[in-house]
Chains A and B, each alone.
Chain A
Amino acid sequence: MNSVSIEYSQLLTSIQKSLYAFILSLLPNRSEAEDVLQETNLILCQKAAEYDHNGHFQGWAFKIARYQVMKHMTKRKRSKICFSTDIVEDVAAEEFDSKRVVVMQKALSICYELLPKKMRFIAMLRFKKEKSIKDISKEVNRPMGAISSTLYRIRQKLLDCVSEKLVLVESEADFKKS
């Protein structure tokens, strides 16, 4: 394996969340997105010497990730859904920027705590423990349809809350900088 500089390793680490989000946007299945993230990281390590330090690291990494997604789709041929990259790429570059990711994470942690207790429990099972709908349904003894509905409502609540809190978190960050 090629050796990589500490600087490159730091760049790579700083972009992990953006990279995973980008891959997930093209391939909205967590398990497959994780597989592609691992493959992408290996390629990024192998190609460390090819990286142009004057270039934009995120853009370069996203290009490699995009190619890995396409390769994964060709290999697997079983995912129900995969988006062609040109659909979301323009927006993704801005939305998944690592600085924006940090702000979003802060807003999300506020909003997660604001979820009603029972919704937070289901959210924990699905989002943090990554349990399937089937397993959650068995654990809480409710039909799978009801779990899907609850997850939809949780996602909506979080999305609306995060959009609201983003402004506050961003202005707090600006205030601290100044």
Chain B
Amino acid sequence: MKTTTHHFDKLVSKALDSTITEAEGDHLRAILKEHPSFQKRYCKAILIESLFHWEEVEEPPALDTKIISFPYWAHALSFAAVLICLLSAWLLHDTDSQAGTHKADVLTANLSERKNTNFSSKPLIKKENFLLGESSSSNNVINKASEYINEFLSPNAVNSKSSLQFKDGLAMISIESKLSTSSMSGIMPLSDGEMMKLGAMEINPVSRNAEIVETLRVYDMTSSDQNFKSVDAVIHINQSFTEMSDATEFVLSLHALSSPRKDSLIQVESSSQTIFSDNDQSTWERVDTSISIPRGTDYLVVALSARKSGPSALNAHHQEFFGDELDVAFLGI
């Protein structure tokens, strides 16, 4: 399997947090042996990690922290050196760093279980009840979000393209499995053999724009007692090769929606980050964004869009667009 920087960085991060498995450790060792470029990156990562060891902590360390007396080394070199040599006892601490692997508690709800979620207690959303004045992309996202919610609530939900899951204590509708594909068009998924393929772009030959917006996840923020204050999202993007075009604009966006009249949706907050994908299928580009979740948010939507403009937009149907490793993390601080 071709090693990507993303995959390598993940292994190194796991090693530093002591959550790496033996097989992953062997894999990391093999990568370092075969790729001098990754050796340099590894050493940089280690150096960054190690330098924090020497930083002063904002508040006094806890009693069970190991104390190594390296005081203000820039100002008292000699004293510190003598101290190192003369000290004969060290206070040791018993670090409990057995993070181990942790599986996200994802459950796929069947039809009878879905009635226990808050999604089932909400009335259908009327499409026309959106806040006007939002950008067309935002309206697209909200439109699709309401479709998925309504689709799930309808009697024919068993045929729904989306799936209801519980992740990090939140009910979530996801269409990622619907978009899932294995390697294609010369592009390999980042790690687990599956990636998402976005739908075909809608081309507007008059304005010479082409766009596809995929609403990937809809979180029901009322399904959890936890008071999440913010959320981070990151995804990797790629596109198939074409001689007729080069960069594509990808946008990862987060939308906080409120449902004040119980049958309507308004957007109360949004954030997005744009990145341009190159024409190199062997590399995935990373894009991330974050948002503070306003009080009263009922739904949190994660969307990915791909856009082209100008002459290359007219050839958008010759290309395919992909996303992989979507990671959404809610913070309660």
A-B contact count (CB 8 A): 227
- Residues from chain A with a CB closer than 8 A to the CB of B18 are 29, 80
* Residues of chain A lying within 8 A (CB to CB) of residue B85: 1, 4, 9, 12, 41, 45, 48
Is residue A110 within 8 Å, beta carbon to beta carbon, of the partner chain?
no
A150 and B233 alpha carbons, distance in the complex (Å): 10
Given contacts A95-B40, A95-B44, A142-B329, contact A159 B84 (CB under 8 A): no
Considering the complex, which residues of chain B in the window 223-238 have a beta carbon less than 8 Å from any beta carbon of chain A?
Answer: 226, 229-230, 232, 234
Measured CB to CB, the nearest residue on chain A to B85 is: A45
Cross-chain contact A17 with B78 (CB below 8 angstroms)? no
0/1 interface trace, chain B 33-67, chain A, CB 8 Å (1 if under): 10010011111111111111111011001100110
Starting from the known contacts A6-B81, A81-B25, 17 additional A-B residue pairs (CB-CB under 8 Å) come to A10-B78, A11-B81, A25-B42, A31-B93, A87-B32, A88-B43, A124-B58, A129-B61, A133-B17, A143-B105, A146-B329, A150-B329, A155-B13, A155-B16, A159-B41, A159-B45, A162-B44
The verdict on A14 contacting B44 (CB below 8 Å), with A88-B39, A141-B226, A141-B332 known, is no
Interface residue? A130 (CB, 8 A): yes
Whether the Cβ atoms of A134 and B96 lie closer than 8 Å is yes
B107 at the interface (CB under 8 A from A): no
Once A34-B66, A81-B15, A155-B9 are accepted as A-B contacts, the answer to whether A96 and B84 lie under 8 Å apart by CB is no
Q: Is the CB of B105 within 8 A of A132?
A: no
Across the A-B interface, the 9 shortest Cβ-Cβ residue pairs: A9-B81, A127-B52, A95-B43, A133-B99, A21-B50, A152-B13, A81-B25, A144-B102, A45-B85
Answer whether A142 and B168 are a contact pair too, CB < 8 Å, given A45-B85, A83-B29, A128-B58: yes
10 A–B pairs (Cβ distance < 8 Å), ordered by A: A10-B78, A13-B73, A17-B50, A91-B39, A124-B58, A130-B53, A143-B102, A143-B169, A150-B329, A156-B9
Q: A81-B28, A132-B95, A150-B329 are in contact. Are A145 and B103 (CB under 8 A)?
A: yes
A133-B331 Cα distance, complex, nearest whole Å: 15
Number of interface residues of A (CB under 8 A): 76
Instruction: Check A6/B47 contact, CB under 8 A, given A132-B95, A142-B329, A148-B99.
Output: no
* Residue A65 CB within 8 A of the other chain: no
Q: Do A155 and B47 touch across chains, with their CB atoms under 8 A apart? A: no
Contact B84 A142 (CB under 8 A): no
Q: Which residues of B contact A45 (CB under 8 A)?
A: 84-85
Also in contact, A149 and B68, with CB within 8 A (given A4-B85, A45-B85)? no
Question: Which A residues contact B (CB, under 8 angstroms)?
Answer: 1, 4, 6, 8-14, 16-17, 20-21, 24-25, 28-31, 33-35, 37-38, 41, 45, 48, 80-81, 83-84, 87-88, 90-92, 95-96, 101, 104-105, 108, 116, 118-119, 121, 124, 126-130, 132-135, 140-146, 148-153, 155-156, 158-159, 162-163
B146 located at the interface, meaning its Cβ lies under 8 Å from any Cβ of chain A in the complex: no
Complex Cα–Cα for A118 and B229 (A): 10
A96 and B47 form a contact (CB under 8 A): yes
Which of B17, B49, B68, B88 contacts A24 (CB under 8 A)? B49
Q: In the assembly, what is the distance between CA of A129 and CA of B52, in Å?
A: 9
A84 to B330, CA, bound (A): 38
Q: Collect the chain A residues with CB atoms within 8 Å of residue B10's CB.
A: 152
Query: How far is it, in angstroms, between the C-alpha of A178 and the C-alpha of B14 when the chains are bound?
Result: 43
Instruction: Indicate if the CB atoms of A148 and B39 lie closer than 8 Å.
Output: no
| Complex partner residue of B329 from A12, A130, A149, CB under 8 angstroms | A149
Query: How far does the alpha carbon of A121 sit from the alpha carbon of B59 in the complex, in Å?
Result: 13
Q: Given A81-B15, A133-B19, A149-B329, are A29 and B78 neighbors across the interface (CB < 8 Å)?
A: no
A151: chain B residues within 8 A (beta carbon): 13, 17
Indicate whether A150 sits within 8 Å of B232 (C-beta atoms), given known contacts A31-B97, A134-B99, A141-B332.
Answer: yes
Residues of A near B132 (CB, < 8 A) are none
Contact A13 B47 (CB under 8 A): no
Contact residues in B for A163 (Cβ distance below 8 Å) = 44
B55 surroundings in chain A (CB, below 8 A): 127-128
CA distance A163 to B37 in the complex (A): 14
